[in-house]
Each structure stands twice: as C-alpha cells, then as structure tokens.
Chain A
C-alpha cells in the first residue's frame, strides 16, 4: 500500500514555462514533506521542504504548496530551465519518526 503517490511517471514542459509536479499521501500522521531531485547515477538531492503548519514555502524558482485537507502537495518550478530535467521524488515523514516515505518519482523533461 503506497502511502505517498506520484501518479505522473513523467511530465514534459517547455523551457520558460511553469512545471507543476503533484504528490498525494494517505497517512494523516505525516507532518513534514520534502522534494528531492535526482539525476541518473547520482543520489537524490534535497530541494525544498514544508512543515504541515504551513501551506506554502518558497525558495527561488521553487515553491511547494500543501493542502492538508486534500492530502496533496505540489511543487512548482518557474521558469523551468533545461537543468531542471531530472526525476523528482516527493517524500513525507511523521514527527519524530524514522526515515522518509517516498513516492515513485516523476521524470520531468524540459523541452527547449
């Protein structure tokens, strides 16, 4: 049973436009959410996070939105750049608990 779901295996976006990556979760005890970016043959790199007490967190071109009632979060990248092409993983944790639960990832492809 997947507790963190990324339903789009891939997403293609034109350079300069907004990329929106979505993530749904089922465990209402999750209270901290993170996005990681991963290039082939490399480890995941932390991108941005959000605590459940917030509904938005922004860092440069990256913004994460959290809708707790819908158990949904999204990552917005604007403007999208070629270097953003990677696999993006959504992850979640329970307060004080061990480790993170990951989604299966979304492969973002930025078209020139």
Chain B
C-alpha cells in the first residue's frame, strides 16, 4: 500500500518562473493537505482540499499560490512567479476523512529552491 507520493522531490526554479508540485494521496484517502516548512520553522498549514473542492485555504499566501485536487489525478500546488522567499520544503499529507481524531500521513516532501 503506497504512501503519500510527492514529486518532484527537488525542484530548482529561477525567480519569476512557475513551480508545480504534485501529490498523490494514500489509497482510499480523499482529503489532501499542503504544508510548508521554511528553514528553522515548523510546518505551516497552507490548504486543505477534497476532490474538486478547496475546503480551507486560510494558510495560502493571497497571491501567486493556488492548489487543486481534480477528480482524476494528483493534487497540484502551483506557485507562479516564484521569489527567493518561496524556497522551502512543501509537504503533502492525506487522510481518509476530515472527522476529528484522524491521523494525517505525510509524503516525503518537495524541496523548492529559487535561485
């Protein structure tokens, strides 16, 4: 039973380019979360999605960041016109449902470096 799969593991982008990070949840999980970890910081919640719906994007920067979880295929976190401050580790997690008490399971992360 495969875990949460993220790709690419490492991504280098120049300032102004776009970054796309992909996440396939665990089998049977329909809830996806994206977290960001900046250097020397904990994990910060960005967005929570179910299939075709954004449930909570309160942690997403207002501009340049977007996320989707289409009916078919992986969840995508998209960062347009990247800046140096976007360099971070981006972790995707999934859970079977959103009811309280559920454990969420993380992927290995995607490390974005903006040069």
Contacts and interface: CB of A to CB of B under 8 A. Distances in A.
Size class of the B contact interface (CB-based, 8 Å)? 20 to 34
A43 B106 contact: yes
Interface in B59-115: 59, 91, 98-101, 103-109, 111
A42 to B, nearest CB: 6
Interface residues of A, number: 27
A99 B98 CA distance: 8
A98 B43 contact: no
Contact of A51 (B42, B98, B101): B101
Contact of B100 (A31, A36, A103, A105): A31
Interface stretch (A14-22, A57-65, A76-84, A89-97): A89-97
Nearest to A46: B103
Contact of A94 (B4, B43, B100): B100
A44 B106 contact: yes
A100 B104 contact: yes
A25 interface: no
Given A44-B91, A98-B56, A99-B45, A93 B106 contact: no
Given A95-B100, A97-B100, A102-B45, 8 more contacts: A6-B42, A43-B4, A43-B6, A89-B43, A96-B100, A97-B98, A99-B104, A103-B42
